[in-house]
Structure 1
């Protein structure tokens, strides 16, 4: 079945949106792991860091489900959530929209400069909530470098380093992602604190590799930095692809703000011969 999609990015963190709202139940498209892996292949498919699938929802503008390119699912994606919010606000002309994800109902809005802000929910910091495999202090996990950990709906492990350029993200990232301490694997961050309001961030993304940026990883890194007493409540996060802003008061929801950019619309035919 042909699948219409939109390709977008947030500071180079690319994602695909498939809108299944209003589907005929008798002809409903099922998104599954195998299909997502074919679509996510950057050589033979579309290629993306995340896939966002929209469906009808009674108490929000849409329900959003997220997938990694390896076919695994995740509960949150800050970049793709901003893209979905932009899409729906463009459709309606509204200044805000509420989306339903596995993190709950998330309020999204845009400002006069085109930046999209998403309420990312309250971070979880208990060892069972991240989760880690054994009782541990999530401010200093029992790993070399004593990283901090939290959950933004997906697990995050943050190393604070003095020399970010010396870190081999592609070597260290997958080793930490799959460490036995993380039963659901983990996103991995390497952070240099530039000032109390500015960090430089490099990422190994669970199920994805090295992205140019990541909204949820930016949030996780700032949360862990604030918990460590290293950062103020509003932080500029500088990723390889550009900057976002993260705000957290230390108790409530995390707010993520940044740009999104539309790429193109197309149709995925999944090996079928396109019509001429």
Structure 2
């Protein structure tokens, strides 16, 4: 069959977005890997699927597949692209769009400026719910990698994150330490790994090694988790600008019992068709 798709990105974190409402593709893990391949396919960090919701009270179902073919729980940059896509493709005319993910409901708000504000829900710090193996909930944890101890924050934004505070993200061992923490036995479902340097209480730099993908130019849930951990540790204020290699996001969180909000851009690159 011929599959219609749109190539999009959120701050350089790039996606193939597929409308599974007007077409019904069979997206096997092998097909996902083929589409995601940057040399022999279209190329992307993740494949996003717009589908019918199982919950009749929401607008769409939002599914996310990593380039390795695995389905994951959430993607913040993808959520912004999702909102732009369904409006551009005239699947909805709403400016406030509710979507169903595997871990809950997200609300996507398209601002007058064109930026998209995503209600990411409340960060989850309980280790069993991340999931993360630890004796009790804490603002930071010590884990051992190659006989060296590292302090991390751990949180879930619908998907698991480990956050390390570093002196300088440019010299941080993202490509060597990132995959080792991703596959650390303390994280049963593997983990996304953020390397954050604090510029001020309202500004950080961040690089993220994403589970099943590698380092990306931006990670929305990674930015949310990094700020949430920083606020929990008392080193950041409630509104923070996050500088990622691909651009900036604004994260706002008032603390426990409040939802966290992420605001940033989404860009359409081109529409196309591919035979699968």
TM-score by length of 1: 0.92
1:149 corresponding residue in structure 2: 154
> Structure 1: how far apart are the matches of 2:269 and 2:188?
35
2:262 corresponding residue in structure 1: 256
Aligned to 2:181, which of 172, 176, 179? 176
**Residues 1-276 of structure 1 correspond to what in structure 2 (within 5 A)?**
1-23=1-23, 28-57=24-53, 58-90=56-88, 91=90, 92-143=92-143, 144-251=149-256, 252-270=258-276
**Which has the larger share of strand?**
2
User: What's the secondary structure of 2:121's corresponding residue?
Assistant: coil
Deviations 1:7-58 (A, max 9, x none): 10011110111111145xxxx4222211111111111111111111111122
Between the two proteins, the alignment pairs up a number of residues equal to: 266
TM-score by length of 2: 0.92
Q: Please list every run of 5 or more consecutive structure 2 residues that lacks an aligned counterpart in the other structure.
A: 144-148
Query: 1:229 offset after TM fit, Å?
Result: 0.6
Structure 1 vs Structure 2 CA RMSD: 1.4
> Structure 2: how far apart are the matches of 1:4 and 1:89?
16
Deviates more, 1:104-113 or 1:143-152: 104-113
1:274 corresponding residue in structure 2: none
Deviations 1:153-196 (A, max 9, x none): 11000001122222121111101101111111100011011111
Query: 1:137 offset after TM fit, Å?
Result: 4.1
1:273 corresponding residue in structure 2: none
Q: Please list every run of 5 or more consecutive structure 1 residues that lacks an aligned counterpart in the other structure.
A: 271-276
> Structure 2: how far apart are the matches of 1:164 and 1:14?
21
> Structure 2: how far apart are the matches of 1:238 and 1:191?
10
Deviations 1:170-226 (A, max 9, x none): 111101101111111100011011111111001101000110001111111111111
> Structure 2: how far apart are the matches of 1:48 and 1:136?
37
> Structure 2: how far apart are the matches of 1:71 and 1:257?
28
Deviates more, 1:198-207 or 1:141-150: 141-150
> Structure 1: how far apart are the matches of 2:105 and 2:159?
16
Deviates more, 1:6-15 or 1:87-96: 87-96
User: What's the secondary structure of 1:80's corresponding residue?
Assistant: helix
User: What's the secondary structure of 1:146's corresponding residue?
Assistant: strand
Are the equivalent residues in 2 in contact too, given 1:98–1:108 (CA < 8 A)?
yes
User: What's the secondary structure of 1:164's corresponding residue?
Assistant: coil
Are the equivalent residues in 2 in contact too, given 1:169–1:202 (CA < 8 A)?
yes
> Structure 2: how far apart are the matches of 1:248 and 1:103?
20
> Structure 2: how far apart are the matches of 1:174 and 1:136?
25
Are the equivalent residues in 2 in contact too, given 1:197–1:232 (CA < 8 A)?
yes
